[in-house]
Structure 1
Amino acid sequence: MTSNGFATGNETPPPPYENGVTNLGYSFSNGDIAMAEKALEVNVEKQKEEKVEIEMEKTEPDPWKISEVYIEVTPWNELSSCGKFKRVTWDYFGKLVVLVGLLYLFICSLDFLGNAFKLIGGKAAGDIFKQSDVLSNPVAGLMIGILATVILQSSSTSTSIVVSMVASKIVPIRNAIPIIMGANIGTSVTNTLVSIGQISNKGEFRRAFAGATVHDMFNWITVLVLLPVEAFSGYLFHLTEYILDSMTLTTNKGADREFLKVLTNPFTKQIIQVDSNVIEAVANGDADAMNKSMIKHCCKKGSVDVTYVNTSTPDNRTYIAKESICLEKCKYLFEGAANTLSDGEIGAILLVISLVLLCACLVLIVKTLNSLLQGKVSLIIKKFVNANFPGVMGYLTGYLAILIGTGLTILVQSSSVFTSALTPLVGIGVIELDRMYPLTLGSNIGTTTTSILAAFAQSSSDIRLAFQIALCHLFFNLTGILLFYPIPQLRFPIKLAKFLGNQTAKYRWFAVAYLILAFFLLPAAVFALSVVNWIAMVAVVGPILLLAIAVVVINILQNKAPMALPMVLRNWYFLPEPLRSLKPMDRLIQKIVSCLPCCANNGEKKEKGEQTGEWKSTTKL
């Protein structure tokens, strides 16, 4: 066996085998010996094949960097007058206008997607929030935050609900902190979903999925570190309490502003309008809110004085009370459908529409970007976006990217929109993963302004509690950045995202499996266990967590210091193939897919240039 743990094929016990008895003194039949030798040969061949695959992957060009662009362009002086006019009007300005329009529709589709999930599961999410006895368990609170944010498709909505519940003293601050952590994880489902839009190209999908999941990995790792710290020490609670003791707070009812809505509302409000106050009312324990429709019918309300006469008294006493009336009814596409369809049915229709619009926009955005960002233009943009400051100042480039990500997220008031818009750019190679990481960290800071603005909109008596939970959200992200960004060796999210990207490049179905497992099945299972009792959760999750840690440590030692491990642990070949590889699952899925009429011939098609992920075009511009 070699130093790397691979069998050399010369380790078969030496002959002679006399009368079925080996030279070690153990009895074997000749048939057993033949079967053992054949099994050993097959195992050696498999190891050699896998070793060759690993070596080939090492010698391939770096799939995370695109340095070469192949493009055939007709020189300007060879173009006709019509060709020159077309290049200026369409290739330069027309495509840019189309790209802006597609980005607008893409953002609107995310808004429709969020409204669809609110209509389908908004009340259920609000009902989860009011389980105050469950929220005392930090793990349950974390999973509630993940599931609620995935259902609502908006961390802004879920954090605003938590802020209002804390301000109303329904949920103590220490119980609300894990929910905020969970909301941070749940919000990254949107850009992970968006990355699947580039599944048709192996190289682009690898980079896009990694660019999306670097957000997930940062949030998960930060939670794994800070949730136990918070549970045992109250780090965020005491830090924010100390800060608030030195501040004077004043309420500002006009603080809750959403700048991007000014641009998208004129279109989205013509399609659907959802009353998110119903979700908040359900979360705050309003029993009547469960029977209210989330479809908004009244766009402008007012109050009038109503006089009541008590005829049961001799002097017919009169009472004057203020009542709310509708001054202006809402007019939009789905408003009339609310009379015949339930909220869930309208939400399901809107979900299909939003997903179709989202996928169409993604495909067209990628094609338009590929067409625009070619030749010298692409190289200039790539160099500008991914370049570092000269000399020793290069270390500060990432911090500038964090500030840019923070500012742009504050502008659009949504980390999902910001990171989802960047994901296709990572896929086509304009933004590298190393630059996407600090931009994502900045978006995590920027999205905390939503809860801060929501806190300032509370009454003067409630603003302190609301602002404290908003600060917990801010310092959770700042602490994560301090842990996993300044030291390059500790930027684990990048390495984990690359691992996930490589897996999706090999097995396309892995992306869907990851999405379902990370954002639905795993949180739901852990939540169910945590609701039962701590013992059940620790008994199930504890061994799995310890096994995962052991696997990670052994993998690191296999790559960095294999001689420190016993011979058998220097690789995973001692395990059956299903326990060390996704290939058996891939073969099963390929067989199932090949049986489908629509997918029977897809497996035979090979993509050009997907090994290197390079841009290739023969279109004459």
Structure 2
Amino acid sequence: MGDIVPADTGVEGGQQKSEKELDPYELTEDYDYEYQRWNDKTMKEKIQAVIIGTTKLIVVLGCLYLFICSLGLMGSAFQVLAGKTAGDIFTKNEILSNPITGLIIGILVTVLVQSSSTSTSIFITMTSVDLISVRSGVPLIMGANIGTSVTNTIVSLTQSADREEFRRSFAGATIHDIFNLLCVLVLLPIELIFHYLEKLTGAILYGFTIETGQKPPDLLKVLTKPLTSKIISVNKTVITYAALDQYLEPDSSMVKIWCERDDAIIYRNESVKYFNDTGMRIMDNETDLIGNRSVYSLTEEVEHKIKVGTRLCDMDDFLFANTGITDAGVGAILLIISLVAMCICLTGMVKLLSSMLKGNIARIIKKVINTNFPYPFGWLTGYLAILVGAGLTFLVQSSSVFTSTITPLVGIGVISLKRMLPLTLGSNIGTTTTGLLAALASSGNKLHHALQLSLCHFFFNITGILIWYPIPHMRNIPIKGAKALGNKTAKHRWFAVVYLIFVFFLIPTLVLGLSIADEWALWGFLIAVALVLIPVIILSILQSKIPKRLPEKLRTWEFLPLWMHSLKPYSSLFGNCCSCRKNKRRTSNQIKKEVNGLNHEHDSPEFTGMDNIAYENENTSL
């Protein structure tokens, strides 16, 4: 028996209806044939169940802790590998004046450092010291929003062994990508034309006297630092200095070299400005007071307080301290270790959760997470999920960790795709509140610009939610897009890797290269892409909504060459590389769905039909 054909593949008649009933994204209450009620168990069986359940829960929590630590190590690995490169990108400030280039740089830097918190901190710092304006910083923030979703997309790849889990987990991960891309497609042109976010945040801050606060404690780092700090310590100052175009020593490293430092005073010859009329020196934070007044400059020795190293780090501090290995070598080793650890922890966590979430327990958990409030308050459920996502993200201060943790739960069918969307939207809000509090910790002369850019990030996500979530038809767009990508990956597993490489690396790098080479080349490329995509999107909508009104030839994409409308020609190439053979064996959930769909008259738990269905010839169709 062949694969279940998704409902949107054009299959007609009764077969299409049957497959809608067998929606792979629908949460099913699978019957547990080995389930035994608690009251029917003997005392020995009850004690054994408690011991096994407790042990599994402890192991799951341990796997979750190590999984979060591995995400932190993966972020550190990318920072060590590409931190200097990410910082150097910002030294060409004239490029940042182009909003499209700013958007792409925001994506690439966030992907390279694997942390939107790090990238947005760099953007806020550059804005606060007037290296870039708030207007130039807004596209960077939008790009960071897109780039941060790469982590949970990578995490979804670890469930590729099971076709149905992979379908759901990849859809759960990419719903974040699609929502952020849709927000940028709508709000970036509005911002370029009306400067909506800049004017709104400027009006909010106008007239307010805001005092510098303290940065909140990072709960996630408090929990993971005891382990991760013994493996690697990243010198993030190098990224900031490179972004601010400040002097870096030739042997500066992304891996921390000095573990103890002390204050020192140095003197540098610098140009100092004075007012002609008063003779008073103009401080760095007073350049906006010059106006039309006459000034003159003198070269003087200026005192600077710096930190100098007094004790080199050694292996007692962390594993990769002063090993003599290059940053590229340390980053590569860390990346391999973190990916292996992440795969092992995630696989163990998913298998244990799958074994624990059976029978009544599974039904109760699924019902609590995915059921709406009673009528007429059902519409409030999604907004509560947004608040939960925002609160949990604020608690761990990382949207990547939160979304990456719940993505496997979508894969094993605990969280529905419809519930994943509001949780993800809440995560977008939660990560901006962390940025707001970080901006409030800035010094007085930097506070206004830092806070304004942080508010731009906050209202960008709020506006995106107001556009795409309240209206059911609008919220279905990212859900349907994620389902389409999930169906593609279930049928062609190599597509997930190609999607990841193209969306987060190749396309942004190509656009960045064109913008550096020539601005007209960039706009020519974007216009050509738009001229191709817009007719394709319009025709696809017409094919799904009113196919009978179209000429017969345009009702499908069959009039195009096969390689232009199907992935089949590429499957032979990538399929051989991935060594993936279809339908080696169906999962138990898929078998049960097929049995339920084809044998509705058999309702008793004893009838399964698995022996006949599981090993049918793969060329047989429904």
Q: Same fold (TM over 0.5)?
A: yes
Q: Distance in 2 between matches of 1:455 and 1:407?
A: 19
Which residue of 539, 557, 566 maps to 1:554?
539
Task: Quote the residue 1:473 is aligned against.
Answer: 457
Q: Does 1:364 align with 2:348?
A: yes
Task: Quote the residue 1:37 is aligned against.
Answer: none
Task: Quote the residue 1:262 is aligned against.
Answer: 222
Cα distance 1:157–1:336, how it changes in 2: closer, same or farther (>3 A)? closer
Which residue of 355, 361, 371 maps to 1:387?
371
C-alpha deviation, 1:67, in angstroms: 1.8
C-alpha deviation, 1:226, in angstroms: 1.0
SS at 1:303's partner residue? strand
SS at 1:255's partner residue? coil
Task: Quote the residue 2:51 is aligned against.
Answer: 89
Task: Quote the residue 1:571 is aligned against.
Answer: 556
Q: Distance in 1 between matches of 2:592 and 2:161?
A: 12
Which residue of 581, 587, 591 maps to 1:608?
587
Q: Does 1:520 align with 2:505?
A: yes
Which consecutive residues of structure 1, in runs of 5 or more, have no partner in the other structure?
1-49, 307-319
Which residue of 138, 150, 153 maps to 2:114?
153
Task: Quote the residue 2:81 is aligned against.
Answer: 120
Q: Distance in 1 between matches of 2:123 and 2:498?
A: 30
Q: Distance in 2 between matches of 1:245 and 1:460?
A: 16
| CA-to-aligned-CA distance 1:48-69 (integer Å, 9 cap, x gap) | xx86599746522111112231
Which residue of 130, 144, 168 maps to 1:169?
130
Spell out the pairing of 1:61-210 with structure 2 (5 A cutoff): 61-71=22-32, 72-76=34-38, 79=41, 81-91=43-53, 93-210=54-171
Spell out the pairing of 1:291-440 with structure 2 (5 A cutoff): 291-303=251-263, 324-326=307-309, 330=313, 332=315, 334-335=318-319, 338-440=322-424
C-alpha deviation, 1:300, in angstroms: 4.3
C-alpha deviation, 1:260, in angstroms: 1.1
Cα distance 1:613–1:62, how it changes in 2: closer, same or farther (>3 A)? farther
Task: Quote the residue 1:215 is aligned against.
Answer: 176
Q: Distance in 2 between matches of 1:589 and 1:460?
A: 55
Cα distance 1:51–1:397, how it changes in 2: closer, same or farther (>3 A)? closer
Cα distance 1:457–1:503, how it changes in 2: closer, same or farther (>3 A)? same
C-alpha deviation, 1:449, in angstroms: 2.1
Q: Distance in 1 between matches of 2:351 and 2:29?
A: 18
Cα distance 1:68–1:336, how it changes in 2: closer, same or farther (>3 A)? closer
Q: Distance in 1 between matches of 2:262 and 2:592?
A: 59
| CA-to-aligned-CA distance 1:221-277 (integer Å, 9 cap, x gap) | 11111111111221111111111104221112x315312111111111111111111
Amino acid at match of 2:45: G
Spell out the pairing of 1:485-564 with structure 2 (5 A cutoff): 485-491=469-475, 492-564=477-549
C-alpha deviation, 1:609, in angstroms: 3.6
Cα distance 1:176–1:424, how it changes in 2: closer, same or farther (>3 A)? same
Cα distance 1:74–1:246, how it changes in 2: closer, same or farther (>3 A)? same
SS at 1:286's partner residue? coil
Which of these two proteins has the greater Rg computed from alpha carbons? 1
Cα distance 1:304–1:233, how it changes in 2: closer, same or farther (>3 A)? closer
Cα distance 1:290–1:479, how it changes in 2: closer, same or farther (>3 A)? farther
Amino acid at match of 1:455: A
Cα distance 1:246–1:78, how it changes in 2: closer, same or farther (>3 A)? same
C-alpha deviation, 1:540, in angstroms: 1.9
Q: Distance in 1 between matches of 2:13 and 2:331?
A: 47
Q: Distance in 2 between matches of 1:198 and 1:553?
A: 34
Amino acid at match of 1:238: K
* % identical equivalent positions: 50
C-alpha deviation, 1:401, in angstroms: 0.6
Spell out the pairing of 1:581-596 with structure 2 (5 A cutoff): 581-593=566-578
Cα distance 1:438–1:305, how it changes in 2: closer, same or farther (>3 A)? closer
Which residue of 436, 446, 456 maps to 2:430?
446
Q: Does 1:464 align with 2:448?
A: yes
Q: Distance in 2 between matches of 1:321 and 1:379?
A: 65
SS at 1:209's partner residue? helix
The count of residues paired between Structure 1 and Structure 2 equals 550
Which consecutive residues of structure 2, in runs of 5 or more, have no partner in the other structure?
1-8, 267-302, 596-604, 607-622
Contact 1:301 1:328 in 2 (8 A): yes
Contact 2:171 2:483 in 1 (8 A): yes
